[in-house]
Structure 1
Amino acid sequence: MSQSGKAIHDGARLRVRVSGAVQGVGFRPYVYGLATRYRLAGFVANDPDGVIIEVEGDRTSDFVTALPLEKPPLARIDHISVEEIGALAAKDFSIRASEQGKISTRIVADAATCQQCLDELFDQNSRYYLYPFINCTHCGPRYTIVERLPYDRRNTAMKAFTMCKSCAAEYADPASRRFHAEAIACPTCGPRLSHGIDDIAAGISGGQIVAIKGLGGYQLLCNARDHDAVQRLRRKKQRDQKPFAVMVGSVEQVSEIAEANAAELALLESTARPIVLLNSRNNLAPSIAPGLSRIGIMLPVAPLHHLVFHALRSTGALPDGEGPVIVATSANPSGEPLLIDNAQAVRRLFGIANLIVTHDRNIMTRADDSVVSVVAGRRQLIRRARGYVPEPIRLARAVPPVLAVGGALKSTITITRGNEAFVSQHIGDLDTVEGIRFFEETIRHLTSMLDVEPVVIAHDLHPNMASTRFADASRRERIAVQHHHAHAAAVMAEHGVERPTLALVLDGYGYGSDGGNWGGELLLCEHAAFQRIGHLAPLQMPGGDRAAREPWRIASGILQSLGRGDEIRQRFGTQPQAERLLALLDQPHVPTTTSAGRRFDAAAALLGVATLQSYEGEAAMKLEARVRRTAVLEDGWLIDGGVLSFRPLFERLVADEVGATAGAELFHGTFSAACVDWIVRAARATGITAVGLSGGCFLNAVLAHEIQRGCIAAGLTPLLPRQVPANDGGLSLGQAWIAALQVAERPADLEGTA
């Protein structure tokens, strides 16, 4: 936070401007209370830049000193400016209507129900008793209900509900926690559920699948201890192996089903209420997270969730000593975006859910649950959405306004405004009409809300992505950014790094500058340019893209390269194409890849952990789940001319005496050690000690921890993504930073030219 202004003279009238996340967080009532305490006159109002305050009286200096120190819990202050103006001899202090103009403020993310609201929710004497939409200035929906800024009730989904006398009185009462709480509502005047809480609890207890309308979209719920219910949900949602997240009623219950350290518990209880990946105790239905050692757990987010758990505990249907645990997964059939429309939800979820619970408060912006883990003691985002969006990433300097449209998988968009980058919520894969529609909807909404007109669109170098086609169809100038350069730049952007930096990008696939299939790259990044100074040795990819879904194909190519092609029939004879693949591998022009992800797939297949994948990353995640402690095969890799080969490691893995667990531990340890060696050699050659670590493979906690630890031991400074995901969810941030630098570095007479 910064503050500017001349020395303050008590008795003068001051104009104070506050920028940051100061709308929708109770900041105006907070200012009102502060001004009243110091007996000051004047006013406070939302304006396009944040909040404007005018105060006069004998203790204005005390007011300015206290202003940033006692702010509401959800407020984030970036800057305070103070100037003296002419006194008006005002007699009182008021909250004024919002001022209009070009917007440069921002809205905060949705926040989980606060303890004070929870106390009222279960207080029989409260008018909010058991009301599933209770909220105040410290909690509740924000980003998902706002249509545009400034954050006033008329600009949110709550404009459809006229306040009753009691709510209007609280809204106007400076002593109330709901003083100017824009989403205030009660059973008399607010939103209502289509079904009762007891109906929801009875459905879950009875083994049914229940759909409810959550903060950012519909969710599907069922009893996580009921194997049959979970399997039925898998069949109906067409989700064969991909893990489900679960929700528990309290943080005390987490220890029943998982191991959690202090950092993980703090994340669970944070106002963002993300899904946190924790080591499982394996006492839920085995179909929750098949073949994995970690399970995604979250605490109740909205009052509705708290009420469901309260009702489940009250039914007495659970065995003694067992707390209720429910699967809580997105209601998005066949990988499509979250459902938010009531009529569409009833239509699309018919046949999936036994009970569909709607309500009449519209969701203006869909937002999935965020997913995080703790790596090396710090938060690592896996999916950034509800609870974190639209908090901006602070950039090293102000840059021109840019729209970056990301990639094709785990899509996000980014818009820059001044020295901030706004990364959208997780959009998902752009391989359906609905996904593309959500992508375009997000661009319109975020651009409008930020009141920004981008000067260029940044996109992936791949010519056939839906996001690239969107950029091509626009009338703006376009800047293409190589996939792995964008991954590296995302790390540099969030860490505010502008000096030359090495970057190790370990990924599944990215379109290379030479048109090739890249995915394991060592880069030297400087300003808006990069140099490819190393890569993983190319692997055969028989069947092209199909090999990414069938790890046994990559493993077969490795066997062939080791002179053990005759083992393909023995190891993978159950695969219908195994016989034909052996002949294919002898043909010229078999596609190749430098992908790091495909090496994890190959190791999983060779060790018998996974030969096919029903979701992205399945083989690698199941391989990681086998690791308890890593081991390193000395001389298990070769580095020649910047090319890193794991031929010696794979020779060891195909030996008959190596089991799946020992092989997984040897693979992870050796892969990590080789990468550190590779980085250290590049650091010595270039004199650069900072290294960005990014790409989807860095979601592997073992890999991220080992490579980071190795870099630190070698005297280097490793930079891991913390504010955006290491996977393609962070791609748009890197694209935006590179494009913004390119535009900023142009001569003045070339700006704006295509």
Structure 2
Amino acid sequence: MDNGKNKETAVKIKVCGIVQGVGFRPLVYRAAREMGIKGWVRNVGGDVEIVAQAPKTAVDRFLSDLKENKERRYEILNMEMEELPVSVFDDFVIIPSGEAKEVSMIPVDLPVCPECLKELADQSDRRYGNPFISCMACGPRYTIIEEMPYDRDNTVMKDFPMCSACNKEYTSPQSRRFHAQTISCNDCGPYLLYQDNRHREAKELTDREALKKAIKVLADGGIVAVKGVGGYHLVCSPFLEPSVVRLRQCKGREEKPFAVMFHSVSEIKKYCDVSEEEEILLASKARPIVLLPMQEDLMAPSTNKKSLYCGAFLPYTPLQHLLTEELGPLIMTSANVSGQPIIREDDCMLSLSDPFPDGVLYNKRRIVRSVDDSVAKVVAGSPQLIRRSRGYVPYPVFLQKEKGGETEIFAAGGDLKAAFCLCRGERAVVSQYFGDLEECGVMEEYKKSYKDLTCLLNITPGLAVCDFHPNYHSARFAQSLLLPFIKVQHHHAHIASVMAEHGLKGPVIGVAFDGTGYGTDGSIWGGEFLICEGKEFVRAAHLSPFPVLGGDQSMRDGKKTAVCYLHHAGLDSFFPDERKHIITAALEQRINTVSTSSMGRLFDAAASVLQIAYENRYEGECAILLEREAEIARREHIKPPSLPFLIKEEEEVLKLDPRPFFEAAVNCKDRGMTGALALGFHHAAAEGIAGICEKLGSRHHISDVALSGGVFQNTVLTELTLTLLRERGFRVYINRLVPPGDGGLSLGQIYLGRKHLKTDNT
């Protein structure tokens, strides 16, 4: 008796997840044919739809095999099944894509796979040396899609008609390139091209001659602009000081370290310490730039600018493999003047006149949207994103279900490290990183990307969420959409981003440390302890405020911030600065003066007082160099002095007062104590956080703590704080899926927007 197991049955299955652009339909096709299942499979929106008809046992085994996912190429998040009447099917086939009202998932750009790399190096293979080799498991996706679903005719690959050999592979179920939308070869293109900027009248080179020329120019110390997946890179040797100095002149980038691409992990290990977790992160599908501890710095001084860390990453395109295999490590930095969007248009790159690279290695495959390289590091044994872009975008962050979840939401994010977010249901798609919206070019890119991504996802927002700051460009844009909108406080959004990631409802103690954020009292916040639950927060504690000159404009001048703090603390007589009398007079007369509780500005002041750094030539430079000295001391097991911040209670609000540290720092004349004092500052801050959380936890009966804000990109502070809080019995959560800095703000805004909708619908 078979209990109906052999009875013919038919089901329609909607598969949601990462199932487009990863060879899922061909895999379904082959599995169905092997099991004798009849029906069809197709793309619909961002999902895959399957009709399967066979005896029930065969259908059950088919579905079980799909869920098991032995090949690990795809990720199924949900399967919806509907029984159908048994019909007449001749076979199992892949049919043309269907239309859908909703697009749930867009494939990310994938690194070249091991199988394609073998073919790339095989002289007998017809794709030997092809810099665009790809298959159903690898290649560009997000940056070449013009509309969903992910079919060749909906990508820029439609510009390159398949040759007969490629077409045979594309239509053959036995081929790795069966329905691989990026399929190409040496015969059907795209092709490499090289423009010689040294001799503009020279003939443009193509194919292997173009690659050879670029390799020779780079080997001779030149700079070449190389077209990548999401835009152009400026490339040169990291070992030749004149080349790196000239590259800095081209970019207008004085001090920030450059990222270096290495051919393999084994090559990275010659220059950097690499833990097991860091090796996994380097080789992950996202292929981010990973900040790794440097061993002895063997590169040109201007490459890393004395940083303890090297931003190392592995090749993710076939062309990058060819270049690094021939030349070894290469600086690969986005081709843009610092602060401007990465260049993706060929005409723009080719027309640069002064300053310009020695040559341009490019191709005619269009880049639909600019996507910079992602940046990550390992903190407390797990990855933390610093910049979320290529390889992660547009993969969604999955949220908990909420009432009112049918309303689609746009969250504008912040103005620095800008990234917006679009949400439908439980899926929140954070956009790629844009930069500073103060720059007109960046703001235009942000606006275009909003239009692009809403169309691609087929989202029509019914609510906009933006920052509380009255002068943010992102907030003005959100309001210009003429949607119902809500404003949320900056640091509340930081903590909400952690709550969104970890599915926290609250109450939690949120510790939000950064450089600046507009407070509800009109002052500049940045050292905040918030009690957060639902859409509400209470400011329960904060860094003792002090006056600064110039508001947001003071962020660059760390020495001026130091004078402001020391004058407020009555310690300025110990600190030399030729502008002291002017600054103190302005403070006393309250001319262009604002109050701040910013921990970011306090880091600037500490770096200046310890004579480590006086100016932020790039964002966070003073704090980064202060952390550098602390990390050196930590590695050398130097015991830091005990200089605890004071915890004061004023009208039930706790305040963290750093005066004891600065009193010791201004009186210290021993330059040999710099590292110990820098580490002592980090210990004092971490102990202050733990002390306030202990008091707040006891007072409000809370055991959960969320840490966020740009200051928590500081590994020393974050790891010390995690240890101290966990020792006190707290469950501690930090950002992992989005950056703790302003690049993660929009996810927190989405969380709070959904809470507002839930309240309104209750």
Q: TM-score, normalised by structure 1?
A: 0.94
**1:611-690, aligned counterparts within 5 Å?**
611-627=614-630, 628-629=633-634, 631=640, 633=642, 635-641=644-650, 642-658=654-670, 659-690=673-704
CA contact (8 A) 2:46 2:149 kept: no
Q: Structure 2 matches for 1:194-593, cutoff 5 A?
A: 194-195=193-194, 196-281=210-295, 282-312=297-327, 324-348=328-352, 350-398=354-402, 399=405, 400-568=407-575, 571-573=576-578, 577-588=579-590, 590-593=593-596
Q: Is 1:725 the equivalent of 2:739?
A: yes
Distance (whole Å) between structure 1 residues aligned to residue 343 and residue 377 of structure 2: 26
Contact 1:216 1:366 in 2 (8 A): yes
| Structure 2 counterpart SS, 1:534 | strand
Among candidates 38, 42, 54, match of residue 39 of structure 2: 42
Name the CA shift for 1:74/1:442 in 2 (closer, same or farther; >3 Å): farther
Partner SS for 2:322: helix
Partner SS state of residue 555, structure 1: helix
Quickly say closer, same or farther: Cα 1:9–1:80, change in 2 above 3 A.
farther
User: 2:574, 2:666 within 8 Å by CA — same for their partners in 1?
Assistant: no
Q: Are 1:604 and 2:619 counterparts?
A: no
Asked whether the equivalents of residues 555 and 606 of structure 1 are also in contact (C-alpha less than 8 Å), the reply is yes
Give the drift of 1:7.
Answer: 10
Which deviates more from structure 2 when the two are superposed, residues 10-19 or residues 548-557?
10-19
Distance 2:46 2:554 in 1: 51
The answer on whether the counterparts of 1:27 and 1:72 sit within 8 Å (CA) in structure 2 is no
Q: Deviations over 1:710-732 (max 9, x none)?
A: 11111111110000000000001
SS at the partner of 1:681?
helix
Matches of 1:8 and 1:267, distance apart in 2:
45
Amino acid at match of 2:67: P
Question: Do the aligned residues in 2 keep the contact of 1:146 with 1:157 (CA within 8 Å)?
Answer: yes
Q: Deviations over 1:607-626 (max 9, x none)?
A: 11101111110000011111
Worse overlay, 536-545 or 244-253 = 536-545
Counterpart of 2:520 in 1: which secondary structure?
coil
Show the 5 A alignment for 1:48-197: 48=45, 50-58=47-55, 59-70=58-69, 72-195=71-194, 196-197=210-211
Change (3 A) 1:225 1:556: same
Q: Does the 8 Å contact 2:558/2:613 carry over to 1?
A: yes
Equivalent residues of 2:722, 2:732 under 8 A apart = yes
Q: Deviations over 1:374-408 (max 9, x none)?
A: 00000000000000111110101152210001111
Measure the CA separation in 1 of the matches of 2:487 and 2:552: 23
8 Å Cα contact 1:198-1:311 kept in structure 2: no
Structure 2 segments unaligned to the other structure (5+ residues): 195-209
The one-letter code matched in structure 2 to 1:113 is V
1:500, 1:688 within 8 Å by CA — same for their partners in 2? yes
Cα shift readout 1:109-134 (whole Å, capped 9, x = no counterpart) = 11111100000011111111111111
* Alpha carbons 1:13, 1:87 under 8 Å: kept: yes
Offset of 1:42 from its aligned partner?
A: 1.1
Cα displacement (A) at 1:468? 1.2
Q: 2: CA distance between counterparts of 1:456 and 1:74?
A: 35
**Counterpart contact for 1:401–1:740, Cα < 8 Å:** no
Q: Deviations over 1:333-380 (max 9, x none)?
A: 131111111001122465231111221001111100000000000000
Give the distance between the partners of 2:510 and 2:4, measured in 1 at CA: 46
Q: 1:566 to 1:653 in 2, by over 3 A?
A: closer
**Matched residue of 1:396: which SS?**
coil
User: What amino acid maps onto 1:273 in structure 2?
Assistant: R
Residue of structure 1 equivalent to 2:27: 30
What's the secondary structure of 2:399's corresponding residue?
strand
* 1:361 partner letter: R
Tell me the amino acid that sits aligned with residue 502 of structure 1: I
Amino acid in structure 2 at the alignment position of 1:649: F
Q: Deviations over 1:122-160 (max 9, x none)?
A: 111111111111111111101111111111111111111
After superposition, the Cα gap between the structure-2 partners of 1:170 and 1:597, relative to the gap in structure 1 and judged at 3 Å, is same
* Structure 1 residue identity aligned to 2:31: L
Secondary structure at the residue paired with 1:55? strand
SS in 1 for 2:187: coil
CA change 1:737–1:7 in 2 (3 A) is: farther
SS at match of 1:233: helix
In structure 1, the gaps of 5 or more residues are 1-5, 313-323, 749-754
Paired amino acid for 1:647: R
- SS of 2:193's partner is coil
Higher mean Cα deviation, 533-542 or 211-220? 533-542
Quick check: 2:18–2:105 contact (8 Å CA) kept in 1?
yes
- More displaced 10-residue stretch of structure 1: 351-360 or 509-518: 351-360
Q: CA deviation at 1:192?
A: 1.2
Cα deviation for residue 49 of structure 1 reads: 5.8
Name the CA distance, whole Å, in 1 between partners of 2:647 and 2:352: 53
- CA drift of 1:239 comes to 0.5
Q: How many residues align?
A: 727
Distance in 2 (alpha carbons) for counterparts of 1:348 and 1:529 = 51
CA RMSD of aligned residues (A): 1.7
Give aligned-pair identity as a percent: 38
Match of 2:204 in 1: none
Offset from partner CA, 1:193-236 (integer Å, 9 cap, x none): 11221112111111111101100100000100111111111122
Deviations along 1:15-51, one digit per CA (max 9) or x if unpaired, are 2221111111101000011111112111111113611
Classify the secondary structure of the residue corresponding to 1:301.
coil
The TM-score, its normalising length taken from structure 2, stands at 0.93
| Paired residues of 1:604 and 1:620 also in contact (CA < 8 A) | yes
| More off after superposition, 623-632 vs 171-180 | 623-632
Q: Is the 8 A contact 2:373 2:390 kept in 1?
A: yes
CA separation of 1:635 and 1:129: change in aligned 2, threshold 3 A: closer
Change (3 A) 1:582 1:140: same
Residue range with higher mean Cα deviation, 589-598 or 628-637:
628-637
C-alpha distance in 1 between matches for 2:449 and 2:7 = 47
What is the deviation of 1:592?
Answer: 1.9
**8 A Cα contact 1:30 1:71, kept in partner:** no
Q: Check whether the contact 2:640–2:677 (CA below 8 A) recurs between aligned residues.
A: no
Tell me how far 1:586 sits from its aligned partner.
3.1
